Structure 1
Amino acid sequence: MSIATAVTHTGILTARQLRAAWRIPAFLVLNLVQPMIWLLLFGQLFKSVVDIPGFTGGESYLEFLTPGIVMMMALFGSAWAGTTYIQDMDRGVMDRLLTSPTNRGALMVSTLAYQAILTLIQTLIVVGVAWLFGARFEGGAAGILLMVVAAMLLTAIFSALSNAAALLARNQNVLIGISQMISIPLIFLSSALMQTSLSASWVATAAAYNPVEWAVIVARQALQAVPDWATIWAHLGMLAALAIVMAWLSTRAFRAYQRSA
């Protein structure tokens, strides 16, 4: 199958999911509720964190917290991406797609593209709300753009993982359990909410291998007045490489699904 055909199939399948989201906009709103609560409540309750000796995250905890909340939202949203596959399986849509000439890669990439679009919209909303409450980002539009790119790559990684889990487990409750088991520890084993140097040393060690931490580092560096570009490109490269690997592995999960169908 040609690349042009794969791109066409990806566009059609992505549009299908966007139409479904447009019909039920509550999904987008609900995915914003928890991050907004964390952003506004934590931003106010823990604003004195900046006075802790050794804290080097700047003079505003809200500005420090915003990139972490963006990545938290990207992680939580993408961890549920596999629910679309579960619904398609229950309705028999997945079997019809797999017996049709539909490109397998397009089936996977379309869900990643859809989740990335949602992440873009939600990230801009979170940044806008943070700005209204006083956060100012010296990195400007370019910094916000890089934060969006990091969030999209993080979304691609965990959307692919969620899709693979859905294809293998075929059960909504199992998928929910896997999502919670993975997403919550990854948030706390990163600097999304607190600088890791102020935590136990093993937390900082674990964070070095955590893709959530990679994305948070990119976002925080990009939003600074003088970013560390070497750090940004290195962590963006790791996110991109992991996203490609996860997309490839999750596409292969279609074969396991078909064999056990």
Structure 2
Amino acid sequence: MTATAPTASAVEAPQRRGALTQSVRDSLVIARRNLIRMLRIPEMIIFGIIQPVMFVVLFSYVFGGSIAVGGSTSAEAYREFLMAGIFAQTVTFATAGAGAGIADDMHKGLIDRFRSLPMARGAVLTGRTLADLVQTALTLVVLAAVALLVGWRTHENLGKVLLGFVLLLLLGYAFSWIGALIGLSVRTPEAATSGGLIWLFPLTFISNAFVPAENMPAFLRHIAEWNPFSATVQACRELFGNFPPGYRAPDAWPMQHPVWASLIWSVLIVVVFRTLAVRKYRSAA
């Protein structure tokens, strides 16, 4: 009898599964390393929580009652309108920390040591972004508790509320890949922090996070309505039931279908910037 030689596809399939398993394992090891590092430096977590808490308190009590939302200038209406924007701003501002952490590892030569090990190429970056995602989730929990204390409430069922927080975490994870690319592209952690924040301010303020986009000039309004940040904010307001009475969504597609728009934007950002970051990691000196 003659033995049948295995086909190329039959040989490659286990190899692909093995490579995927190793990549997942290596990514979890790196994520665990970064989480342990965060626990040993609690200031990283504490300062990451203090800033968004300050935003909640300041915006709620300083601007509450000064900005008309849906024809109402009550502090309660603005507080509910505001919170989705604060949540989204918090998860995206974690980008600067992700970039600074990777730049610090590059500066200390740690990335070069990882590159010399027999591990999946993308595992270092994936592990780092997963650890940042855990920190972001912790920050959101604390922030939501503070928001409840100052009077924020949701008006939809638990499933929709949880979906809103999932979209926020997905947006934060997507933006952490932008931070990873920035961290690999600069020479110092300080430059990564500056580079991670300088573009976030126009992104978050030319949006519907803090004021209704329809109050902006026409050219800014169109930018705000197609801003991926605005899509997630709009989706969270819809899922939390935080639209003011009589609110009518703008006609732009992302504002009419914010949940789908948020998902599409976040997945697209992950695909594009993960590809660029892994490519940069492979060629980084």
Shared fold per TM-score greater than 0.5: yes
Q: Deviations over 1:10-51 (max 9, x none)?
A: 110000000011111221111122211111121112221464
Shift of the alpha carbon at 1:238?
2.3
Give the deviation of 1:144 after TM superposition.
3.0
Q: What is the CA-CA distance between 1:68 and the residue it aligns to?
A: 0.8
Task: State the one-letter code of the partner of 2:63.
Answer: F
Aligned equivalent of 1:224: 241
CA deviations 1:50-100 (Å, max 9, x no partner) are 646656999521111111111111111122202222222232211010111
Q: In the alignment, what sits opposite 2:13?
A: none
2:191 match: 174
Aligned to 2:14: none
Deviation at 1:162, TM superposition (A): 1.5
1:126 equivalent in alignment to 2:143: yes
SS of aligned partner of 1:101: coil
Separation in 1, partners of 2:69, 2:94: 32
Contact 1:55 1:195 in 2 (8 A): no
Q: Distance in 2 between matches of 1:43 and 1:77?
A: 22
Match of 1:197 among 207, 210, 214: 214
> Is residue 152 from structure 1 mapped to residue 179 from structure 2 by the alignment?
no
Contact 1:49 1:55 in 2 (8 A): no
Which residue among 56, 59, 62 is the counterpart of 1:42?
A: 59
1:213 and 2:222 aligned:
no
Distance 1:52 1:89 in 2: 46
Residues 11 and 229 of structure 1, relative CA distance in 2, 3 Å threshold: farther
**CA distance, structure 2, for counterparts of residue 40 and residue 28 of structure 1:** 19
Q: Distance in 1 between matches of 2:92 and 2:203?
A: 9
Q: 1-side partners of 2:69 and 2:271: how far apart?
A: 39
Letter in 1 for 2:274: A
Q: Is the 8 A contact 1:9 1:103 kept in 2?
A: yes
Q: 1:236 aligns with which of 257, 263, 270?
A: 263
Count of aligned residue pairs for this structure pair = 257
Decide whether aligned partners of structure 1 residues 74 and 110 sit closer, same or farther in structure 2, where only a CA change above 3 A counts.
same
TM-score normalised to structure 1 length: 0.89
Unaligned runs of 5+ in 1: none
User: 1:194 deviation in Å?
Assistant: 1.1
Asked if structure 2 preserves the Cα contact closer than 8 Å seen for 1:55 and 1:198, the reply is no
> Does the 8 Å CA contact 1:71/1:216 hold for their aligned counterparts?
yes
- Matching of residue 117 in structure 1 with residue 166 in structure 2: no
Q: Could you tell me whether the CA contact under 8 Å between 1:83 and 1:166 is conserved in 2?
A: yes
Q: What value does the CA root-mean-square deviation take over the aligned residues?
A: 2.4
* Separation (CA, whole Å) in 2 of partners of 1:10 and 1:65: 36
Q: How far, CA to CA, are the matches of 1:229 and 1:56 in structure 2?
A: 24
Aligned equivalents of 1:222, 1:253: Cα separation in 2: 37
2:2 maps to 1:2? no
Give the number of the structure whose alpha-carbon radius of gyration is greater. 2
* 2:65 partner SS: helix
In 1, are the aligned partners of 2:64 and 2:75 still within 8 Å (CA)? no
Instruction: Measure how far apart 1:142 and its partner are.
Output: 2.2
Match of 1:248 among 260, 275, 278: 275
Distance 1:40 1:89 in 2: 37
3-state SS of paired residue (1:60):
helix
Distance of 1:152 and 1:162 partners within structure 2 = 15
Gaps of 5+ in 2: 1-17, 244-254
